[in-house]
Chain A
Amino acid sequence: MAHRDALCSIRDIIDSQLETTDGMAIGRVADIELEMQENGMLLVTALLTGPQALAGRISPRLQKFLRFLLRDRFEGRIPLSEVETIGPTLRLRKRASDYTVGQSERWIASSILRWIPGSGYQ
């Protein structure tokens, strides 16, 4: 019972906001990766994001179909060790540019929005 403060349920992690150390909202947790340990304990090892992970929340078949379609191209994985604080907002240790999750934000800014006047792109 020593770690009571650190107790939290899966519900506190799944669907939580991912925020980087520079205050950027890069996405939400779609699913978690678990690892069975030798002593029979389940350990959360990583947070997953992406359309396939989300589809898995709805139906395994849909997930299979999306895996066939997208081939893991848009999936993200953040090791749990990257998480600084747990709560409705999960604060990560590094800056937004250090994660593949939320890359589309930068791609959209630099490939699409920059061509529209007044986008503020530099």
Chain B
Amino acid sequence: MKKWFSITLGIVTATGGFLDAGSISTAGEAGAKFGLGLVWAVVLATIAVMLLVEMIGRFSALSGKTYAAAIREDFGFPFFLLPLSSEVIAESLLLTAEIGGMAIALSLLTGISWHVLFPVAGLLVFVMAWRAPFDWIENAPALLGLTILAFVVAIFALGGPSRGLLPTLWQPDIKSGGLPTYLYLVAAILGSTISPYLLYFYSSGAREENWSGKSLLLNRVTAYVGMGFGSVGSLALIVLTAMVLHPLHMDGNSLQAIGQPLGHAFGRVGIVLFAIALFSTCLGAALEVVLGVSYLISQGFGWEWGENKKPVQAARFNLVIILFLCVAMVIGLLGIDPLQLALFASTVIALLLPFSLFPFLVLMNDKQYLGERVNTRIANGAILAILLIAFVVALVALPLQILSGGG
């Protein structure tokens, strides 16, 4: 009975953990601008993240090591600087976007400007990271995040997608001059779903919860089913914005605009549901990002770490959390719209994916850690192919987007 409970909880957690400011922004804007034309990218990214989350759980359960510790020990300090610096740069942008997403959600609920609420949201993240035990951080935002199912309900409430929308699935509605934005969104969808912070977070979580070889079944089920369910949220949001915003030629280029379809379906209640979903997914993701980076740094340098310890028992780990949140606060002062920032951060992450995930693939094929349970060739090939697509698309899209003046 307890086993089934933990499997259910694991699935719920993975479902809630799938969505964040990045995936809500990319899915919402994708649907508004290109109809169903970017559904394929979400499906591709979901396959990659299912495979990766299963792998990192298997790695940590069998080797008893975290990803960051294994990089430092196997590849040495100079190499370690590569994932370290790329993570710190990309995740500081993403963390700012997540906190901005929380602020916008609070602003939808209270009517106060999100700029004013930004520090409040940051403080909330700090309080959770400072004192909440690990299972709270993993489960509480995820449970609230299930409000995302409102997206699915709204699709039916609004009568489902029209017949005219269906062909955009294989024939994306790209207007002249729209190709750079299309590619930018492809890269952003891949980068926001296949986020490397997940690997640092999950591998540390497996240690915080003392996973062992016995946990492998639980690991596989939660990775595949949870991430599969999670992508339903993203897909539903694409369909919803494609149904409501696309015909009105609305761009969906702010989080407030992406919430409007729920307002169409359920009125004020819909906006509140959207705000709750946005707030909880962004809170969950902000915690995973800030902890992921602190895990990476602390484990890489061999310091005490852990959410289940008092802050002074892992002082350097907690100091990194504080400093990283301060960095996000400073970036937040620039007042960049969270959706635009999330898109940019996700594309940068897509560009850096080969650097952050290449050592992971090497480790996943190391018999010294995994024995006979190393990766299959198909899994290796699939991940490599998806990484390559993400890298190439991001490499093309990022300069185009910057040249065209963003947005």
Q: For A60, list chain B residues within 8 Å (CB).
A: none
Q: For A57, list chain B residues within 8 Å (CB).
A: 76-78
* In the bound complex, CA of A26 to CA of B313 (Å): 12
Contacting pair B76 A120 (CB below 8 A): no
- Which stretch of B16-24, B85-93, B216-224, B298-306 is in the interface? B298-306
Contact flag A120-B304 (CB < 8 Å), given A28-B72, A54-B77, A113-B318: no
Other-chain residue from A30, A104, A114, A119 in contact with B77 (beta carbon distance below 8 A): A30
Q: For B69, list chain A residues within 8 Å (CB).
A: 17
Closest to A18 in B: B302
* In the bound complex, CA of A15 to CA of B319 (Å): 22
* In the bound complex, CA of A28 to CA of B76 (Å): 11
Would you give the shortest CB distance from B71 to chain A, in whole angstroms? 10
A24 within 8 A of B: yes
B207 within 8 A of A: no
Q: For A119, list chain B residues within 8 Å (CB).
A: 310-312
Contact flag A109-B302 (CB < 8 Å), given A14-B76, A15-B76, A57-B77: no
B372 within 8 A of A: no
A118 within 8 A of B: yes
* In the bound complex, CA of A58 to CA of B315 (Å): 27
Would you give the shortest CB distance from B37 to chain A, in whole angstroms? 45
Give the number of residues in B that approach A within 8 Å (Cβ atoms): 24
Contacting pair A58 B78 (CB below 8 A): yes
Closest to B300 in A: A28
* In the bound complex, CA of A88 to CA of B65 (Å): 10
Q: For B315, list chain A residues within 8 Å (CB).
A: 104-106, 108-109, 112-113
Would you give the shortest CB distance from B132 to chain A, in whole angstroms? 11
A68 within 8 A of B: no
- Interface flags for B339-383 (1: CB within 8 Å of A; 0: not) read 000000000000000000000000000000000000000000000
Of listed A58, A102, A113, residue having the most chain B CB within 10 A: A113
Q: For A30, list chain B residues within 8 Å (CB).
A: 77
Other-chain residue from B78, B301, B310, B312 in contact with A27 (beta carbon distance below 8 A): B301
A selection of 16 A-B contacts at a CB cut-off of 8 Å is A15-B77, A17-B302, A26-B303, A27-B301, A27-B303, A28-B302, A57-B78, A58-B81, A88-B65, A105-B304, A108-B315, A113-B318, A114-B312, A116-B311, A118-B130, A120-B313
Beyond A15-B77, A57-B77, A105-B303, 12 extra complex contacts between A and B, CB < 8 Å = A15-B72, A17-B69, A17-B302, A18-B302, A24-B304, A25-B304, A106-B315, A108-B319, A112-B315, A116-B311, A118-B130, A120-B313
What are the 9 A-B residue pairs with the smallest beta carbon separation, nearest first? A120-B310, A28-B302, A109-B312, A109-B315, A108-B315, A119-B311, A27-B302, A121-B312, A17-B302
State the A residues within 8 Å of B (CB): 14-18, 24-28, 30, 54, 57-58, 88, 102, 104-106, 108-109, 112-114, 116, 118-121
